[in-house]
Structure formats: C-alpha cells, structure tokens
C-alpha cells in the first residue's frame, strides 16, 4: 500500500521511508510505531519538516496534530533544518558561574543566530545543554561530540573559525 495523496515520487528518501512504514504496516498496534517512523524520517532528512510530518500522517493514517504533538514533545526531534555541526553551550551551574552566558552571547553574535537556530551558511546549529560532566573545564561547549573547555570569547571565535574553514574547504 502506498500513500497516494502524499506520493513523493522522485525523492529516494521518501521511497525509503515508504518501505520502512510498509514493513511495519501489518504489525499489531501499527500506530505505536510512530516514534520509530519519525526517527527514521529524521535520519533520512536531517529534521522533521511540515511536509515530512504530513507525509507520515497521511501514510500512517494518524492525525497531523498527533504527529506534531509527538514531534514537539521529545527533545531529540528537530523541527528545523540542522547545521553540519551542533554547538551546545553548557548552561549548568559550574559553567554558568564561570561565564557560560558570555560564551553563549559570543556564539550568538559570531554565528548570527539565537539558540535553536542554524547559521545562514548551514554549518552550525546553536543549542544549550545542561551539565555535560566536564565541570572542571568550565565554561564548556560541545561541538558535536567534542568538548571544549576553559573558554573565553576569543577562544570561542578561534574554534568557530577553525570549523568554518574546514567546512568550507570540504565543500
Ligand atoms: S556545569 Fe558545565 S560541565 Fe558541568
């Protein structure tokens, strides 16, 4: 069975999503696989767009409002396009007292975004985190899985510059 209303012919990612949904369709409580389907969709598209959620809604016959409810409830779902790298500033207590707010402000200015947004060059998404377990290095930020500590505004700018150059060199 396929979703005729939302058929996205020509985009292989929708084809793959369709195959995955079809593999679940005969299972008992098919709708209970919604989170798994949304995970797969996010893996394919990088985030959950309105279009993708409408597709899932149509194909699984689940109301769009319910899909939105699930997608917005869980922190691990992204509703906006993500940058190549996620920059997470630790706002835990140890980092906060050592200047995390200044680190965050530097990043907002340097990247031209607010928390949760992606830079215009699509290289960085800015995020906040709670204690990442490196309080001795406070203030701390993570870029993807890499931890950077003892940050100052100058250090932050230099680190971002390095990532920017690398991303542009690879493009
Ligand atoms: S509070 Fe930032 S690493 Fe612990």
- Determine whether the shortest distance from the Cβ of 134 to ligand 1 is under 6 A: yes
Ligand 1 atom closest to the CA of 90, numbered from 1? 2
Ligand 1 pocket, residue 141 CB under 6 Å: no
Which pLDDT band holds residue 1 (cuts at 50, 70, 90)? very low
Can you give the pLDDT at residue 8?
61
Pocket lining: 32 vs ligand 1, CB cutoff 6 Å: no
The pTM of the full predicted model, rounded to 2 decimals, is 0.72
Q: For a substitution probing ligand 1, which of 131, 142, 150 has the most ligand atoms within 8 Å of its CB? A: 131
Report the alpha-carbon distance of residue 28 to residue 95 in Å, rounded.
47
Atom of ligand 1 nearest to the CA of 92: 1
Residue 6's pLDDT is 60
Q: Which of 116, 98, 115, 113 is nearest to 153 (CA)?
A: 98
Counting DSSP H helices and E strands in the chain, the numbers are: 7, 4
Tokens 């995955």 -> residue:
20
pLDDT tens track for 5-35: 565 667 899 999 999 999 999 999 999 999 9
Cα 119 to averaged position of ligand 1 atoms, centre (Å): 25
| Angle, CA of 103, 104 and 109, to the nearest 5° | 100
Residue 154 or residue 169, greater confidence: 154
């Amino acid at each position: 069975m396929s979703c005729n209303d939302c058929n996205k012919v020509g985009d292989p990612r929708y084809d793959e999503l369709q195959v995955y949904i079809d593999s679940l369709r005969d299972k008992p409580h098919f709708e209970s696989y919604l989170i798994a389907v949304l995970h797969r969709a996010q893996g394919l598209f990088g985030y959950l767009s309105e279009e993708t959620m409408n597709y899932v809604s149509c194909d699984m016959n689940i109301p769009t409002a319910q899909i939105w409810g699930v997608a917005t409830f869980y922190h691990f779902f992204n509703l906006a396009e993500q940058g190549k790298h996620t920059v997470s500033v630790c706002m835990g207590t140890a980092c906060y007292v050592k200047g995390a707010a200044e680190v965050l402000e530097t990043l907002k200015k340097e990247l031209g975004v607010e928390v949760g947004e992606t830079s215009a060059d699509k290289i960085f998404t800015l995020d906040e985190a709670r204690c990442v377990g490196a309080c001795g290095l406070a203030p701390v930020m993570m870029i993807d899985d890499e931890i950077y500590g003892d940050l100052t505004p100058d250090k932050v700018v230099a680190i971002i510059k390095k990532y920017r150059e690398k991303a542009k060199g690879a493009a």
